[in-house]
Amino acid sequence: MCSAGSCIQAVNLTVKLYGKNLGTPWIAPQLSITNNGTSALPLAGLSLRYWYDEEATNGTTVVATCNTPVQTAFCDSTSMTGGCASATGAPNFSWAFVNAGKTNADCYYQVTFSSTAGSLAPGASVADIELRFSKNDFSAYTQANDYSYNGATAYTATTKVTAYINSTTTPVLVYGTEPM
C-alpha cells in the first residue's frame, strides 16, 4: 500500500473497543487488535488513536494542547508479554490536539508500541489492552459526545478507533474512519 510516495505493508486488522465507564473523571478505552492478514504484523510502528473532546475545566477554555489541564495515562492491564510494566513491549501513550476541529473530537489519545513489542501473527490478537486517563484535577469528561466512545459492555468491533502504520514521513491510516 502506498500513500504520498511512501509504501507500507498491506494490513488487514480489526480493532475492538470496550468503552468501560469508570465515571466522569475517567476515559477508559479497553482495546483489542486482531491481525486478519496472512503475514505477521510488526507492532512497532503501529499506532491506535482514540478520538475525544476535552471539555473545558471549571469554566475555563480548552487550550490547543489537549494536555491542559495536564492529563495522566495509566495502563491497568494487558495480555502483552511482560504486561503494562514491561520495558520490552508495553504500550506507550501520548495526546495530540486536532487543529482542524473535528466533530466530537478535538483531541486524540494515541497508543504506540516499542520496537521490542514483537509481531502479531496471522489470526492472532492482542487482547485486553486496558487503559484509562484523567485530567490531573479530576474534572469531568462527557464521554457521550466523544467520537470513539461506544458505551459497549463487551468488546465490539469499531471503526471509530483508528489505526496507522508509521512510514518514514507520516502515519498512514490502515484501519477505521477519522472524525470529520
- Enumerate the β-bridge partners of residue 18: 30
Q: Is the pLDDT of residue 57 over 60?
A: no
Query: What is the average per-residue pLDDT within 116-125?
Result: 87
Alpha-carbon distance of 169 to 76, in angstroms, equals 32
Q: How confident is the model at residue 63 (pLDDT cuts 50, 70, 90)?
A: low
Q: How confident is the model at residue 87 (pLDDT cuts 50, 70, 90)?
A: low
Q: Is the pLDDT of residue 134 over 80?
A: yes
Amino acid identity for residue 15 in this structure: V
All domains in the chain, ordered by first residue: 11-167 (2.60.40.710)
DSSP class of residue 57 equals S
Query: What is the average per-residue pLDDT within 51-62?
Result: 65
Q: How confident is the model at residue 118 (pLDDT cuts 50, 70, 90)?
A: confident
Looking at residue 179, its pLDDT comes to 93
Neighbours of 85 (CB within 10 A): 8
Q: How confident is the model at residue 4 (pLDDT cuts 50, 70, 90)?
A: low
C-alpha angle 153/91/165, rounded to 5°?
A: 95
Looking at residue 88, its pLDDT comes to 54
C-alpha angle 162/165/169, rounded to 5°?
A: 120
Is residue 127 within a helix (H) or strand (E), and if so which, with residue range?
strand 125-135
Higher pLDDT, residue 86 or 96 = 96
Looking at residue 74, its pLDDT comes to 82
Between 37-46, 93-102, 155-164, the lowest mean confidence (pLDDT) is in 93-102
